[in-house]
Amino acid sequence: MGGLRLLAVALTCCWWPQGSQGKTLRGSFNSAAAREAQGQSIGHFEFHGDHALLCVRINNIAVAVGKEAKLYLFQAQEWLKLQENNHGYSCSEKLSKAQLTMTMNQTEHNLTVSQIPSPQAWHVFYADKYTCGGDAETLQVDDIPFEMVLLNPDAEGNPLDHFSARESGLHEFFFLLVLMYFVIACIYAQSLWQALKKGGPMHMILKVLTTALLLQAGSALANYIHFSRYSKDGIGVPFMGSLAEFFDIASQIQMLYLLLSLCMGWTIVRMKKSQSRPLQWDSTPASTGIAVFIVITQSILLLWEQFEDASHHSSHSHHSLAGILLIVLRICLALSLGFGLYQIITVERSSLKREFYITFAKGCILWFLCHPSLACISVIFSDYQRDKVITIGVILCQSVSMVILYRLFLSHSLYWEVSSLSSVTLPLTISSAHKSRPHF
């Protein structure tokens, strides 16, 4: 299984997703692109409250005036209706249905988006006189460089907040999360280090679990650094956003590796074991192949999801096919684990072992099912709140799951005693008879 972990990390390193652009947008208005798509898509933003602001700065005013350059703002729902409408609106008719229009004939333009009853997404498009008509042969090729800043009102009502309604609150959440990790590290780092130095039955488990925890803490810190800069310039640090995604994916892989290592003999290949040794670790080619397949499958799905939805700085989205397949995979793993442990618990006579299995099942099932459960719960929230509910909820639930597993493996009354009762009944333990070490 050592090669398995290295392979998973190698996959993550090779397919590192790129950071997405922030809400200070820079680029060029292009007439050819606008003509081809009946409007050049510039970006979208969830405005909220009164006095939200769209600010555009351009340099080549003469070209903009000559092209009759304009920006068109559509509410997301209205734009979706236009795209799905079969009435066959012409290009000019579609543009005429924009809720807000801005004519660009100055160096700087400010457009106030006000009286928004509830947060909603707006799409921004560029178009000029060549978009819906005009002679293509006389199409001016000069682009118009621009910088666009999208702002929401802050607590005092001033348009200074770079966060859209979909992102608001994440900066504060990651600050509190980093603070929590720091406080916990100050309290428990020394005792955990001593436990790791002592070795014992839970040494390798604690090592892998601690690695996953450090990766999650690194992801939280990288997200906090990105959002801290984002709050000032609307761009952030895209590298730190990508680094947060990388750490989160690596943490997911580490935890899947750990839980598969502990549960493989309990759930997947239990029918091959005798009842006297129901939890013995099975290192046969069949079990190793299954573990490799599951870990690589999750790695590919996590990376595929990031590439399909690069605007989210987390691996907890479920808007794509990859996200849906990840949810299905986690449900299957949770059901398999739950079914295997239920069979063991029903025939187990030792109350100490039953307590161990039940506690372990709680931690593992919470880890696997928190994402699917929160994805279902999120449908009762507004669209702009769903990603935040899933992201924050998954991070908190997985943190609780780690706490449960830490308490279990550090408890001398549970894992230590259970492993002492039968050194061959629990995987990843050190046999007192042979003093053999587990290999990763």
- 115 and 257 co-located in one domain: no
92-96, 147-151, 249-253, 294-298: segment of lowest average pLDDT: 294-298
- Whether residue 72 lies inside any domain: the answer is yes
17 in any annotated domain: no
Residue 275 covered by a domain: no
The rounded distance, in Å, linking the Cα atoms of 207 and 195 is 10
Domain assignment present for 93: yes
Q: Report yes or no: 240 and 194 within 8 Å, Cβ to Cβ.
A: no
Q: Let me know whether 295 and 393 are in one domain.
A: yes
61 and 146 together in one domain = yes
Residue 83, domain CATH: 2.60.120
Checking 233-240 for CB contacts under 8 A at 24+ apart, the result is 233/22, 233/24, 233/162, 234/22, 234/23, 234/24, 234/149, 234/150, 234/151, 234/162, 235/21, 235/22, 235/23, 235/24, 236/22, 237/19, 238/18, 238/19, 238/20, 238/21, 238/22, 239/19, 240/19
What is the tally of structural domains in the chain? 2
Assess whether 182 and 126 both reside in one domain: no
Question: Is residue 363, in this structure, part of any structural domain at all?
Answer: yes
Residue burial 114-133, b: 16+ Cβ < 10 Å; e: rest: eebeebbbbbbbbbbebbbe
Shared-domain flag, residues 289 and 402: yes
CATH value at residue 295? 1.20.1070
How many residues make up the chain in this entry?
A: 440
What is the model's pLDDT at position 298? 83
| 172 has a pLDDT exceeding 90 | yes
For 222-268, how does the pLDDT look when each residue is reduced to its tens digit (9 = 90+)?
999 999 999 998 888 889 988 998 899 889 888 887 777 776 644 33
Quick one: DSSP state of residue 414? I
Indicate the residue among 151, 184, 214 that finishes a domain: 151
> H helices within 15-111, ranges in order?
31-37, 61-67, 76-84, 91-96
Residue 393 sits in the same domain as residue 251 = yes
Query: Where is pLDDT greater, at 351 or 268?
Result: 351
Residues 211 and 63 in one domain: no
> What digits encode the pLDDT tens for the residues 19-61?
334 578 989 998 888 888 888 999 888 888 888 899 999 988 8
In angstroms, rounded to a whole number, what is the distance separating the alpha carbons of residues 401 and 384? Answer: 27
| 6 inside domain | no
Q: Cα(242)–Cα(314) distance, rounded to whole angstroms?
A: 9
> What's residue 197's pLDDT?
81
Total H helices, total E strands in the chain: 13, 9
Task: Render pLDDT for 112-164 as a digit per residue (tens, 0 to 9).
Answer: 888 677 888 899 999 998 888 766 555 656 889 999 999 998 888 888 888 98
Domain enclosing residue 58, as ranges: 24-151
Q: Are residues 86 and 187 in the same domain?
A: no
- 384-411 average pLDDT score: 89
The verdict on 78 and 198 lying in the same domain is no
Evaluate if residue 207 carries a pLDDT over 50. Answer: yes
**Is position 5 within any domain?**
no
Token pair 């750990």 is found at 258
Q: What is the pLDDT of residue 286?
A: 59
199 lies in the same domain as 72: no
Residue 15 covered by a domain: no
Most confident of 3-7, 175-179, 375-379: 175-179
How many CA atoms lie less than 13 Å away from 108 in the CB half-sphere? Answer: 4
133 in the same domain as 196: no
pLDDT above 60: residue 420:
no
Question: How confident is the model at residue 346, as a pLDDT?
Answer: 82
175 and 147, same structural domain?
no
Kindly indicate the confidence band of residue 320, based on its pLDDT and cuts at 50, 70 and 90. Answer: confident
Please give the angle made by the CA atoms of 201, 12 and 303, to the nearest 5 degrees. 120
Average of pLDDT values for 102-111? 90
